[in-house]
Chain A
Amino acid sequence: MFALELKNISKTFGSFKANDGISLSVKCGEVHAILGENGAGKSTLMKIIFGLYQPDIGGEIFLKGQKVTISNPRFAIKNGIGMVHQHFMLVRPFSILQNIILGVEPRKWFGIVDYKAARKQVNELSKTYNFNIEPDRIVETISVGMQQKVEIIKTLYRNAELIILDEPTASLTPQEVLDFYRIVENLKRLGKTIIIITHKLHEIKEIADRCTIIRKGQFIETVDVSSTSEEELAAKMVGRIVDLKVSKSNANPGEIIFSVKDLCVLNDKLFLKVNHFNLDLRRGEILGLAGIDGNGQRELVEALSGLRKIKSGSIKLNNREISNLTPRQIYESKLAMIPEDRQRRGLVLDFQVKDNFVLQRIEKSPFSHYGFIITREIEKFADTMMERFDIRPRNIELNARNLSGGNQQKIILAREIANNPDVLIAFQPTRGLDVGAIEYIHQELIKLRDQGKAILLISYELDEVINLSDRIAVIIDGAVSANLSEETLATHKNIKEHIGLFMAGGKA
């Protein structure tokens, strides 16, 4: 029997078809992945299932064989559909228990919330599904992985039979991801049906039974996961063959150009987040800094780019001390940066694309003269960059906000490279990008390496670090806990587990 069937679902926004005649069936008790690039229409489809959007006329939805019109989320919840959004919908100052029962509180007389009954029920759920939650912890104080568990229990508490998980592993650490896989197995074992929206291929191989691929709003295929490979999935998602493994020649490292010694940096709450951090970076190599989110990477990058004062230590670029200089001075000493949060820090989203290309250089010739902007030169420059990096749509007057994530990242990359830097710090350069864009960014980074630039890659995605780096350092609690040479990377059999161990606190 099918838990959910969609027939010919379309959704049009203005003249844009987000979904175009999609049909799919989800079997009872299976884990069904929906795979597609960013902007392929996955989220729109899920919002239709959850009643947040109405499909265009002609589309039909069947729940357990019954034809239904899901007019709003309340109807969806009542009919056993639960959804966990990518960005959690939790009231942060409330306790776990309060969050779970919010909106469907069990009541005693005069509408007083019956916490006792609620706690009992939540504890039972936690036990059945092996969640190990502490109902009275405040949501603000628990980890992201735990918050996700709370979201899942929330759906179970509302008697969900079909649970939709939107990009569930996007913000989890590697350990939490493993934990999450176990939860999904548990849910499946106990008869729940699960839909997972994702663009991570190994995740699908790991937990999904079947996978439906969507491309540009259209249904491509539903496949059995066990009889397909990651390469095949990727090719179907993107519509062409993609290199999942980055192909690169051996590094040809030159002299040390960038060196960090005994660096200590405090965060806003005056905790020591970077603690005697050491690192040497050579021309012509990519050094990967692996580590779990929150081990001082953010503070390190802010110190390196001049946004945060250092407490002690030194940062030398070309034998010149650059610590505690302003961001402008550091930029001008040929250190470029791809920031972690491209929407908040990398781009002025409501500026036109062309203006974003010259954010740092507006005062330089030829973009301005005696303080007056020379629009023609900016446009010429922007046009060249759009062409060279294949940024789409090819319209420099568009606001940066209206471009896809991949194209936004290309703007930043183009801009940073244009200053001909000696060192490029790439912080989570492919976060949230789809396979095609990731491939592109990776290739560009390797090209830069081959031109003799030094690249520091900081990423929470271990796969990315391993794939791209010539050497790897592991950061934990603000210090380097392990250094892995090129030989080790090439020869070690189980490199991923090896590094994972260091990331979790093992010693070299």
Chain B
Amino acid sequence: MKKFLFSFLCVLSGLLFGALILKLSGISPIEAYTVMWNGAISKPSYIAYIIIRSTPLILTGLSVAFAFRTGLFNIGSEGQFIMGALSAAFFGYFFNFNPWIQIPLVLMLAVFISSLYGGLAGFMKALFGVHEVISTIMLNWIALYFSNYMVLHDGFHKANTETSEFINPSTSITILENWKSSDAGLEWLGQHPLISDFLRPSINAGIFLAILAVIIIWLLLKKTTFGFKLKAVGLSPEAARYAGINVNKKMTQSMMIAGGLSGLAGATHVMGVSKNVAILAAHEGYGFDGIAVSLIGSNAPFGSMIAGFFLGALKYSGQKIQSALEAPSEVISIMIGAIIFFIAIPVIFERPINKILKLWEKK
């Protein structure tokens, strides 16, 4: 309750700060927020877009939050995302089984490879004491350039493009992808404009996987001895070691799971939305946004889910103020920055929160 209130106040303050910035650049904040609000919910397709946007954010947020519970700061979500995306594109192109086999197989391979990649940072920390922040930052770049190298490799590279070959249709997790463009589908959708609008973006099964992951991680942390030990390691490695918990092993395992979650984000993105991977000049930021999601969600699984949806909505609807009001959409980045800033200084909200909680109790 307290944590939720805290995040809520931080978000509110961030929005107010964004309003101030808008005002200073001569744009009416009320108008801007109205545009954003309408741009987020006034059409089914907008909501679909937000869901698509949110899916990877929820997963990378969950990844960062999970590692954090074991006392590890997973900056490497970005690289793990790339490894997951690359693996999904690779196996999705070279394998072609029946979808019932193909989809789980490719997903599992992507998660497996990215979890090894995440585990590598944990392993290096356990064995050589390399700080995970340093190693994961470097692993991010290694992943980026490895992906670029693979994309350009003969047999995988799509000629005359900057991208890899498309994955086989059997790998796609986009919902009703073929039916949407079939005659029967077009006819049916013609009669149901709302659903038609909702299905127009490549809405995909990734969101179900993300929510499932949230529930599993929540269960893991809350109900299992494994989660109990991970949390003990996170809160006090010394005491955990004294109590006979193998701290090094737990750290490696934790980073593996975190890596797998980020990899799942990358895989669902490829299998549901992009269908291939492209040459990247710089990081796309799904992993880095995951850090913000985790912080806003107070490092909790369901918190990450809510924060993921929120950030996804903010990012999607934020684009719209640019065309509608000629307002800089960078305001959104400033707002997210401000929210994180407020989260980093919990002291300022202590008093109001205690007051609100007291009022609550009186009721």
Contact = CB atoms under 8 A, between A and B. Distances in A.
Do A and B interact?
A: yes
Interface of A: 305, 307, 326-331, 337, 339, 341, 344-351, 355, 359-360, 362-363, 368, 371-373
A463 B240 CA distance: 32
Contact of B239 (A348, A363, A373): A348
Contacts of A350: 235-236
B223 A360 contact: no
A329 B245 CA distance: 11
Given A349-B236, A351-B231, A331 B244 contact: yes
B224 interface: yes
A83 to B, nearest CB: 25
28 contacts: A305-B242, A307-B241, A307-B242, A326-B246, A327-B242, A327-B243, A330-B244, A331-B243, A331-B244, A341-B238, A344-B236, A344-B238, A345-B238, A345-B241, A345-B242, A346-B242, A348-B235, A348-B240, A350-B235, A350-B236, A351-B231, A351-B232, A355-B228, A359-B239, A362-B225, A371-B226, A372-B225, A373-B228
B229 interface: yes
Interface of B: 223-226, 228-229, 231-232, 235-236, 238-246
A372 B232 contact: no
Q: Ordered nearest first, which 10 A-B pairs have the shortest CB separation?
A: A328-B244, A359-B243, A327-B244, A348-B236, A345-B242, A360-B243, A350-B235, A368-B225, A362-B225, A348-B239
Contacts of A372: 223-225
Most B CB within 10 A of own CB, among A328, A341, A349, A362: A362
Contacts of A349: 235-236
B232 A339 contact: no
A360 B239 contact: no
A330 B235 CA distance: 23
Most B CB within 10 A of own CB, among A329, A339, A351: A351
A307 B238 CA distance: 10
Nearest to A363: B225
Given A348-B235, A351-B232, A362-B229, A337 B223 contact: no
A328 B229 CA distance: 13
A373 B236 contact: no
Given A346-B239, A351-B231, A360-B243, 9 more contacts: A328-B246, A331-B244, A345-B239, A348-B235, A351-B235, A360-B244, A362-B225, A362-B228, A373-B223
Contact of A348 (B223, B224, B225, B232): B232
Contacts of B242: 305, 307, 327, 337, 339, 345-346
A227 B300 CA distance: 61
A339 B239 CA distance: 10
Nearest to A368: B225
A344 B225 CA distance: 21
A328 B245 CA distance: 7
A344 B226 contact: no
Nearest to A332: B244
Nearest to A306: B244
A373 B246 contact: no
Contacts of A327: 241-244
A351 B231 CA distance: 9
Contacts of B240: 348, 359
Nearest to B226: A371
A331 B240 CA distance: 13
A185 B239 CA distance: 42
Nearest to A399: B235
Nearest to B224: A371
A359 B232 CA distance: 8
Contacts of B228: 355, 362, 373
Nearest to B227: A373
Contacts of B238: 341, 344-345
A344 B243 CA distance: 12
A348 B239 CA distance: 6
Most A CB within 10 A of own CB, among B223, B238, B243, B245: B243
B350 to A, nearest CB: 12
A331 B244 CA distance: 8
A351 B236 CA distance: 9
A329 B223 CA distance: 25
A108 B158 CA distance: 75
Nearest to A327: B244
Contacts of B246: 326, 328
Contacts of B245: 328, 359
Nearest to B236: A348
Contacts of A347: 236, 239
B244 A373 contact: no
A209 B223 CA distance: 58
B300 to A, nearest CB: 15
A350 B232 CA distance: 9
Contacts of A363: 225
A346 B225 CA distance: 19
Contacts of A371: 224-226
A500 to B, nearest CB: 31
Contacts of A348: 232, 235-236, 239-240
A355 B246 CA distance: 18
A203 B132 CA distance: 48
A262 to B, nearest CB: 26
Contacts of B224: 368, 371-373
Contacts of A337: 242
Contacts of B239: 344-348, 359
Most B CB within 10 A of own CB, among A307, A345, A347, A359: A359
Nearest to A360: B243
Contacts of B223: 372-373
A362 to B, nearest CB: 5
A93 B245 CA distance: 35
Most A CB within 10 A of own CB, among B223, B231, B239, B241: B239
